[in-house]
Amino acid sequence: MKRIWAICSFEIKKLFIKPQSYLLMFGMPLLFTLLFGGIMGDSSTGKVTLAFIDQDHSMMSKSLYDTLQNNDLFLLKEMSHNEAATQIKDKKLIGLLEVSKGFENKFASEGQPMVTFKYSPDFTSNAMIDQIVSNAIAKMKIQSTASTVWSNYSKESWEKMYPVLDKEISTSTPSIQKVSITKNMKKQEMGNVSARSAGFSIMFVMIVMMSVTGVLLEARKTGVWYRLLSTPTSRLEVMGGYFLSFFLIGWIQFGVLMAASTLLFGVHWGNLLGVFILVTSLLLCVVGLGLFISGFVKTTEQQGAFGSVIITATCMLGGVYWPLDIVPSFMQKIAEFIPQTWAMRGFTELISRGGSVQDIVAPVSVLLAFSVVFLAIGITRVKYE
């Protein structure tokens, strides 16, 4: 046991003596979480800006402006036509919405109120803006029709009723109540930051594991392996020492990332025992994968190259970068055979649904099955001579 610990502690020291290890293990995953989690999670930072040119200066054009301001996709900035044209030319705006003179009159008559939407050719979300504007005009049309009917009975101007209706509709409680399905009373959200935090922790633990499991190949290349086996240290002790070091390095990395993401981004990782079991199974699987790859390659360079390709591809397939719900069904089927899919499912269960240990039995079992296969093949391919 002394020798196992000696190998393990030396490998850990060897890793942490290098400053670049801290960047790869902790700096980069936190930075990626901040960038991807923040950008995709905070809706206000992702809004584009459109110019709003009001040629009509009417109650209805004002109403359209107010209605359109309440959306998650874009912000409106009122300005003149020339000003808007200049800003679009300078790429400060991606487009404009122009309300022509006579806009309000179209509501009173039988005509169709029109708004002109001009946008840069590189803007890809134009269909969504088109839909939002159309919906807003349709809503206004219904309100104006109702106001006109009221006007016919009351003999008062429809413009008097319209603002009342508009205010009533915009302040009414929505008929849909959104409830998140959780396993306990403590409501938790798998926000984008939480999801990316789990995802990038998995990805960077895998990257680091590829590197640290490569020490077996490096040891063979440098002669350290030869010397180790010439000492009175058994093969079991040698492999035990290395294996323990890989496992502890993985846990140190994951533990620090969990603590840092909780402090920095407010991520709640859920049931701690569940997280411990899930991360342990994931690490066994990842260490197994590292040994598996090192069993089939000859140099650390090959291990790095193969490892990078495998990690990137499986992270894409396993829902680390984006939710699996948005990918086609055949890719979702492939994802069933990817360890990261099961790890992410486990984290979703713990973080988002407030699950406990019994709720992650399936992901943990699958990860352990992957571990057994990878470790069995990886360890049998280690050459001792």
Partner 1 sequence: MLEVSKVRKSFGKTEVVKGVTFSVERGEAFGLLGPNGAGKSTTISMICGLLPFNEGDITVDGYSVKNNPMEIKKRIGVVPQDIALYPTMSAMDNLLFWGKMYGLSRKNALNRAYEVLDIVGLRDRAKDKIETFSGGMKRRINIGAALMHRPQILIMDEPTVGIDPQSRNHILETVKQLNKEGMTIIYTSHYMEEVEFLCERIGIIDHGEVIAVGTKEDLINRLSGGTVIKMEIGHYNKSLVEELNTLPFVEKIVTKDDERELEIFVNSSHQALGELVSTAVKNNVEVSTIQVQEPNLETLFLQLTGRSLRD
Q: Say if residues 297 and 303 touch (Cβ distance below 8 Å).
A: yes
Distance in Å, CB of 122 to partner 1, minimum: 48
Say whether residue 385 binds partner 1 (CB under 8 A).
Answer: yes
State the first-to-last Cα distance of the chain, in angstroms, to the nearest integer: 23
Count of residues that interact with partner 1, criterion CB under 8 A: 22
Q: Say if residues 198 and 95 touch (Cβ distance below 8 Å).
A: no
Q: Kindly provide the b/e burial profile for residues 282-293, where b requires at least 16 CB atoms within 10 angstroms of the residue's own CB.
A: bbbbbbbbbbbb
Instruction: Write phi, then psi, for 53 (nearest 5 degrees).
Output: -110, 110
Say whether residue 19 binds partner 1 (CB under 8 A).
Answer: no
Distance in Å, CB of 126 to partner 1, minimum: 55
Whose structure tokens read 């701690």?
272
Say whether residue 298 binds partner 1 (CB under 8 A).
Answer: no
d(CA 148, CA 153): 9
Distance in Å, CB of 234 to partner 1, minimum: 8
Say whether residue 145 binds partner 1 (CB under 8 A).
Answer: no
Stretch of 1-9, 47-55, 186-194, 296-304 contacting partner 1, by CB under 8 A: 1-9
3-state secondary structure of 189: coil
Q: Which of residues 192-251 bind partner 1 (CB under 8 A)?
A: 222-224, 226-234
Say whether residue 127 binds partner 1 (CB under 8 A).
Answer: no
Q: Say if residues 113 and 106 touch (Cβ distance below 8 Å).
A: yes
Stretch of 10-18, 35-43, 100-108, 324-332 contacting partner 1, by CB under 8 A: 10-18
d(CA 225, CA 232): 13
According to DSSP, residue 113 is labeled P
Nearer to partner 1, 70 or 230 (CB): 230
Say whether residue 328 binds partner 1 (CB under 8 A).
Answer: no
Nearer to partner 1, 29 or 241 (CB): 241
Name the site residues for partner 1 (rule: CB under 8 A).
2-3, 6-7, 10, 13-14, 17-18, 222-224, 226-234, 385
